[in-house]
Amino acid sequence: MYTFFDEPGLLPGFADLNRPRAIAAGLDPFQYDQVTAGLTAIREWPTAFVRAGQDYVARAEQAEAHGRSASAAEAYRAAALWLHFATVLPNPNLDAHAAAAAASADALRRAEPTAEFFAEPDLAGVLRRPAAERPPVVVLVPGMNSGKVEFLAIADTLLRRGVAVLAIDGPGQGELATAAPWEPEYQKVVHRAVDLVEQRSDVDGSRVALLAMSMGGYLGALAAAHEPRIRALVSVSPPSALDWDQLAPYVTDTFVLRTGSAAAARDFARRINAAEIAPRIQQPFRVVDGALDTIPGVTNGEPLARLAPRGEYLLIPEGHHLVENRRWEWLPDTADWLTRHLADD
């Protein structure tokens, strides 16, 4: 069967497009360039990134053996990211994909010994808390071919503002990418995440917001439309609608792999409808888009913001998808925006 991996000449463009994403997540830009320059075909990507991740695990274990805990934590964090980026392709080798995702999750646990990890059939998460008494919580929602480990740097920004962060993977995402298909009723995943937060005494479960990325930006909006316990929502580069016949193979192959069939993939794409859910979002809602984020078949986030009763739209003129090449133009202010909306009444 012809797949994304069979598309000719993809490697240089794919490496260039993913470079801001990788650097913003925390990969060393020089090492990223070195690893991707050594590839001759897109099929080599997963193996090369796994190899880099395994090298960092070895470095971390060596540092641990010599009592260098800070160096070990740094190396485990790098390992988690490299292993995660081995999974950003719609790899038809599901066993290899699952092994890389599991190794990434294990490295993250070893990198963050003070964090708390959750593992349930339909939810995996990591809760990181600042040095504050009963802080509010932001639930961080990933998107397509992404996961909780990718947004550690964004979580760091919120932690510095005294906000706890629960980064999650739902079915078909991150650690759970091959364990179950995507959940089209994603409000169920967020509902469970908020339940977990409410049950705790060390965070304030009455003050919860969402920060949702890419496809997760729409899933987060869907969740906010159904979950009144969410105080505020930020969606970064969310789709407002998808035209299946115009989507690139990277997207359609991912949808098929993560939903289980071509029919389920088309149905999942059809459900993405800003006009249906945005009017139901009563919370303060900020949508962040990049003006240079032009993906065939994808309507960007402006309709979500325009149709929501309390929506606002922040367009970054030079921004790409996820606006990671212009993070300084939106992230500090947006983190402050979330913090304000999570303040005590």
Q: What pLDDT shows up at residue 7? A: 75
E strand intervals along the chain = 116-120, 123-128, 137-141, 164-169, 208-213, 230-236, 241-242, 285-290, 298-299, 311-316
Identity of the residue numbered 259: T
Q: What are phi and psi of 250, to 5 degrees?
A: -55, -40
Same domain, 146 and 254: yes
pLDDT at 129: 96
Residue 18: which CATH number?
A: 1.20.1440
Same domain (yes/no): 129, 239: yes
Phi, psi values for residue 222, rounded to 5°: -60, -45
The CA distance from 86 to 150, in Å, is 12
Rounded alpha-carbon distances, angstroms, from residue 28 to 57, 61, 252: 16, 20, 30
Q: Do 240 and 288 share a domain, yes or no?
A: yes
- Give the separation between CA 333 and CA 345, rounded to whole angstroms: 21
Q: Which pLDDT value is given to residue 9?
A: 85
Domain range for 84:
1-113
93 and 9 both lie in a single domain:
yes
Instruction: Specify whether the CB–CB gap between 87 and 104 falls below 8 A.
Output: yes
Residues 248 and 102 in one domain: no
DSSP category for residue 133 = S
Domain edge (last residue) among 87, 113, 139: 113
Instruction: Report pLDDT for 345.
Output: 60
Same structural domain for residues 202 and 334?
yes
Q: Are residues 203 and 313 in the same domain?
A: yes
Please check whether residues 268 and 195 belong to one and the same domain.
yes
pLDDT for position 6:
75
Note the pLDDT of residue 3.
73
pLDDT digits (tens, 9 = 90+) for 295-315: 999 999 999 999 999 999 999
pLDDT given at position 1 = 60
| 213, 131: one domain | yes
State the pairing for strand pair 298-299/241-242: antiparallel
Predicted local distance difference test score (pLDDT) of residue 250? 92
Quote the CA–CA distance of 302 and 239 in Å, as a whole number: 9
Q: Are residues 44 and 162 in the same domain?
A: no
3-class state of residue 237 by DSSP: coil
Paired residues of 128 in beta bridges: 165
- Residues 321, 326, 327, 330, CA torsion sign: negative
User: Helix crossing, 249-259 with 262-271: angle to 10°?
Assistant: 110
Last residue of a domain, one of 64, 80, 113: 113
CB distance 318 to 325 below 8 Å: yes
Quick one: pLDDT at residue 230? 98
- Domain at 272, CATH number: 3.40.50.1820
Q: State whether 321 and 206 are in the same domain.
A: yes
Residue 273: strand, helix, or coil: strand
What does the buried/exposed string (b/e) look like for 162-188 if buried means 16 or more CB atoms within 10 Å of the residue's CB? ebbbbbbbbbbbbbbbbbebbbbebbb
226 and 131 in a common domain: yes
User: Which domain-ending residue is among 57, 78, 113?
Assistant: 113
How many domains is the chain built from?
A: 2
What pLDDT tens digit does each residue of the chain (345 aa) get?
667 777 778 899 999 999 999 999 999 999 999 999 999 999 999 999 999 999 999 999 999 999 999 999 999 999 999 999 999 999 889 999 999 999 999 999 999 999 999 999 899 999 999 999 999 999 999 999 999 999 999 999 999 999 999 999 999 999 999 999 999 999 999 999 999 999 999 999 999 999 999 999 999 999 999 999 999 999 999 999 999 999 999 999 999 999 999 999 999 999 999 999 999 999 999 999 999 999 999 999 999 999 999 999 999 999 999 999 999 999 999 999 999 999 966
